[in-house]
Amino acid sequence: MKRLVFIALILVIAIPIAYFMVNQANTPALPFINPTDVQSEMVDSSVQDIGRNHKIGAFKLLDEQNKAITDEVIEGKVFVAEYFFTTCGSICPIMNKQMQRVQAAFDGNAAFEILSFTVDPENDGPKQLLNYAKGHAYRSGQWHFITGNKKDLYSLARTSFFVLKPAEAANLGDAGSDFIHTNNFVLVDQDRHIRGYYDGTNPAEVDQLILDIEKLLESK
């Protein structure tokens, strides 16, 4: 009888473990996305030929608190990045409503950050960004609204995140630029590798983003 009880206990423990391991094996790994995997029009010519080990580059900009923010804020962390501007009346309100869902899912998790870069730094100074951030119930220290030198912001978008596409003509892009920001949320892992793009206006894709963030957080 004792032997049967012992075997039953082993089965109770072993079956869930086996089920978990099978599920893990059947779950596709997140890809590593490099410049050669992205439409060439989204990528600065200086990095278009990179086919492996692409990483998000260094930056030094300003946040909504008018404090310097550098790439140290993402060191060893999972994060999601987007480009937007506060006076955008089309996709940006939808995107940042969805980003609020992402923040809520990982509220207070010190291993996760959100970076929202403006494409219109002339109008989106720290004060404007702070007012916008408060309107989206942001958590200070976890969701960062970022401005700075326009050249630096656009260079980062084109050499690191690949979220700006050329406008149809010069000066017809966002904020009078030559580029238009996309609706993509960019998922980046602890080692600064891009692991996915998600339509920030699509709740189903944001659901998947949340699941994929959880995968990355659990992987370390």
Summarize pLDDT for 37-90 with one digit per residue, the tens: 999 999 999 999 999 999 999 999 999 999 999 999 999 999 999 999 999 999
Work out the angle at residue 84's Cα, subtended by the Cα atoms of residues 80 and 85, and round it to the nearest 5 degrees. 145
Whether the per-residue pLDDT at 194 is higher than 70: the answer is yes
The Cα 217–Cα 65 span in angstroms is 27
**Residue 172 CB coordination number (10 Å):** 13
Section 14-31 average pLDDT? 53
Residue 53 to residues 79, 85, 194: CA-CA distances in angstroms?
18, 30, 9
pTM above 0.85, yes or no: yes
SS3 156: helix
Domain at 31-218, CATH from 3.40.30.10, 3.40.630.40, 3.20.20.70, 3.40.50.720:
3.40.30.10
What percentage of the chain reaches a pLDDT higher than 70?
88
Q: Is 53 left (phi over 0), alpha (psi -120 to 50) or beta?
A: left
Summarize pLDDT for 145-173 with one digit per residue, the tens: 999 999 999 999 999 999 999 987 787 78
Read off the pLDDT band of 178 (50, 70, 90): confident
Summarize pLDDT for 81-132 with one digit per residue, the tens: 999 999 999 999 999 999 999 999 999 999 999 999 999 999 999 999 999 9
Nearest residue to 128 (alpha-carbon basis) of 200, 62, 201: 62
User: Mean pLDDT, the chain, as a whole number?
Assistant: 90
